Amino acid sequence: MNIQVLGAHNCESQNSKFISLLIDDALAIDAGGLTSSLSFPAQQKLKAILLTHHHYDHIRDVPAIAMNLFLRSTAINIYSTQSVYDAITNHLLNGKLYPDFLKRPQDNPTIKFTIVRPHQTEQIEGYSILAVPVNHTDLTVGYQVTSPEGKTIFYTSDTGPDLTECWKYISPQLLIIEVTASNKYEEFARESGHLTPSLLKQELTSFREIKGYLPRVIAVHMDPSLEKEIETEISAVAQTLNNPITLAYEGMQLEL
């Protein structure tokens, strides 16, 4: 399994992109920095997009990819919970802000949308996909993705503390988890459903207690203005837990 980090951050600038991951060139998870990271031919190779929740930094490129694929007579499958579907169809692809690509072109619409339900394994493009609720906004889900060869990753999406329940459902070899803010912003992180390095440490400790191991950990969704602090604090956590934790960056490639 090849995992490419297209966007690794929660804010966009010339040097940082909204969150988006790409698996084996075929499966994208979240669409923050999707079109801005991929050539048109690479966009046409996409088979499916999994969306975790409706926040703008996670769905921003859905209209853009839909237009690109529409113009190239290609279709794509999008999977999400009902609330993400409602947000996209009511506010983005509503025929006003942008065309309704769920209905256009009439004979073969560009977007084929499927609603996923938590804790139900779906077969998507040869991968086993399990959506697991995390603690963020409405119903936000993380996705466990298992390849045909049995390689497994879990991406938490945005989440606040207390993932004890979530950990029970997953057994990844690679954990991609959000760490948005540095330790001094713990109160903000708790209120807005995000993690800091010290909150990450608690979550990883509970993972190890429940699962009996720790996978390799990749941190994503960092606030670029806090990234230096986050990096320093995370390396201390990695040392204490004696487990590799790496900050993701745009263009990072991971092999499993």
Question: Contact positions toward Zn ion, by CB under 5 A?
Answer: 10, 55, 57, 158
Shortest distance (Å) from residue 9 CB to Zn ion: 9
Gap between the Cα atoms of 248 and 155, Å rounded: 12
Pick between residue 31 and residue 69 the one whose CB is nearest to Zn ion: 31
* Residues across the chain: 256
What does the buried/exposed string (b/e) look like for 206-231 if buried means 16 or more CB atoms within 10 Å of the residue's CB? bbeeeeeebbbbbbbbbbeebbebbb
Q: Which two tokens stand for residue 214?
A: 């720790």
Shortest distance (Å) from residue 203 CB to Zn ion: 17
Pick between residue 57 and residue 203 the one whose CB is nearest to Zn ion: 57
Pick between residue 57 and residue 233 the one whose CB is nearest to Zn ion: 57
Q: Which amino acid, one-letter code, is at 223?
A: D
Shortest distance (Å) from residue 58 CB to Zn ion: 5
Residue 48: half-sphere exposure toward Cβ, Cα within 13 Å: 19
Pick between residue 35 and residue 159 the one whose CB is nearest to Zn ion: 159
Shortest distance (Å) from residue 55 CB to Zn ion: 3
Strand 141-146 relative to strand 127-133, pairing: antiparallel
